[in-house]
Amino acid sequence: MAEQQTPNKKRQRIRGTNFTSMEVNLISRREVEELGLLRGKFGPDITADAKNKTWAKIKDEGNTLRVSYRKLSTVKTKFRNLTRDAKEKFTYERKERNKTGGGPAPKPISMAEKNIINAMKDTSSFKGIDGGMETSVGISHQDTCNSRHSQDSITSDQMFTAVPISPVPALNGFPTCQTVDDLPSSVESIWIRRLEQVHQRNEDESMQKKKTKRTADDVYELQCLVLESDLKRNEMQNGTFPKLNAILQHDDPETNY
Across residues 69-93, what is the average pLDDT? 82
pLDDT at 205: 75
Under 8 Å between Cβ of 232 and 238: no
Least confident span in 38-42, 119-123, 206-210: 206-210
* Predicted model pTM: 0.41
Closest Cα partner for 144 from 182, 116, 114? 182
pLDDT band, residue 89 (cuts 50/70/90): confident
pLDDT band, residue 78 (cuts 50/70/90): confident
Query: In angstroms, rounded to a whole number, what is the distance separating the alpha carbons of residues 115 and 32?
Result: 7
Q: Taking 80 as the threshold, does the pLDDT of residue 222 lie above it?
A: yes
Q: Taking 70 as the threshold, does the pLDDT of residue 163 lie above it?
A: no
pLDDT band, residue 129 (cuts 50/70/90): low
Across residues 73-98, what is the average pLDDT? 80
Across residues 191-212, what is the average pLDDT? 73
Least confident span in 48-52, 219-223, 252-256: 252-256
Q: How far is CA 192 from the centre of its chain?
A: 3
Q: Taking 70 as the threshold, does the pLDDT of residue 92 lie above it?
A: yes
Q: Taking 50 as the threshold, does the pLDDT of residue 159 lie above it?
A: no
3-state secondary structure of 160: helix
Closest Cα partner for 123 from 185, 198, 42, 168? 185
Q: Taking 80 as the threshold, does the pLDDT of residue 183 lie above it?
A: no
